[in-house]
Amino acid sequence: MPIDKNELRRVMGHFATGVTVITTLSKEGEIHGLTANAFTSVSLEPPLLLISVDKKAESYPYFEESRIFTVNILGEDQETLSRRFAVSGGGSKKFEGIAYHTGANGAPILEDAISYIECGLYAAYDGGDHTLYLGEIKQAEIFEGKPLVFFRGGYRTLGD
Ligand SMILES: Cc1cc2nc3c(=O)[nH]c(=O)nc-3n(C[C@H](O)[C@H](O)[C@H](O)COP(=O)(O)O)c2cc1C
């Protein structure tokens, strides 16, 4: 019998992750972003990372349209920001009142993120109800600060 959806969520939630906001833009230049923890390093040569985006997300069409995205790794004080970008819809309105600047690839870089990674789309693969995007890393920066952590469906901090 296939695993029940809620049970699957519970099981996967036992894998502690950081939290990111992934940003991109439409061809008209409207900015989009969503909270995501399905993010991993893939390759050093060429430098690649992986994200997984829900096909039902409002921002989903813009990843292939723009062929660029930026992964913003959130700091421990950015739970409110994470919650905001986890609410579906609103497009660029999600960014109202939020400090950000435009990166070299055109996608927003959020202030106070502990790192950002700018990518060009390298490849896309079907992942069931998600699409897996491999991003080729063009530019990245790291800053001081501890990460926001997601574990068992809740926000945590490292506590050390
Ligand atoms: C901690 C956390 C991690 C998430 N990870 C992902 C993810 O990796 N991929 C994804 O598509 N959605 C993920 N989501 C859900 C999206 O943030 C949510 O569906 C969002 O509303 C999509 O925004 P949009 O519809 O405006 O594009 C996550 C949500 C939370 C709270």
- The verdict on the CB of residue 148 being under 6 Å from ligand 1 is no
Q: Which residues contact 109 (CB under 8 A, 6 or more apart)?
A: 23, 70, 72, 100, 101, 102, 103, 116, 118
Q: How far is CA 70 from CA 6, 55, 159, in A?
A: 30, 18, 27
How confident is the model at residue 160, as a pLDDT? 67
Torsion angle in degrees (nearest 10) through CA of 34, 39, 42, 43: 50
Q: DSSP label at 67?
A: -
pLDDT of residue 131 exceeding 80, the answer is: yes
The mean pLDDT of 27-43, rounded to a whole number, is 97
pLDDT at residue number 58: 97
Q: What's residue 159's pLDDT? A: 79
- Mutation probe of ligand 1 site: the residue of 35, 74, 80 with most atoms within 8 A of C-beta: 35
Instruction: Reply yes or no on whether the pLDDT at 12 is more than 70.
Output: yes
d(Cα 95, Cα 120) in Å, to the nearest integer?
22
Question: What is the reported pLDDT for 2?
Answer: 86
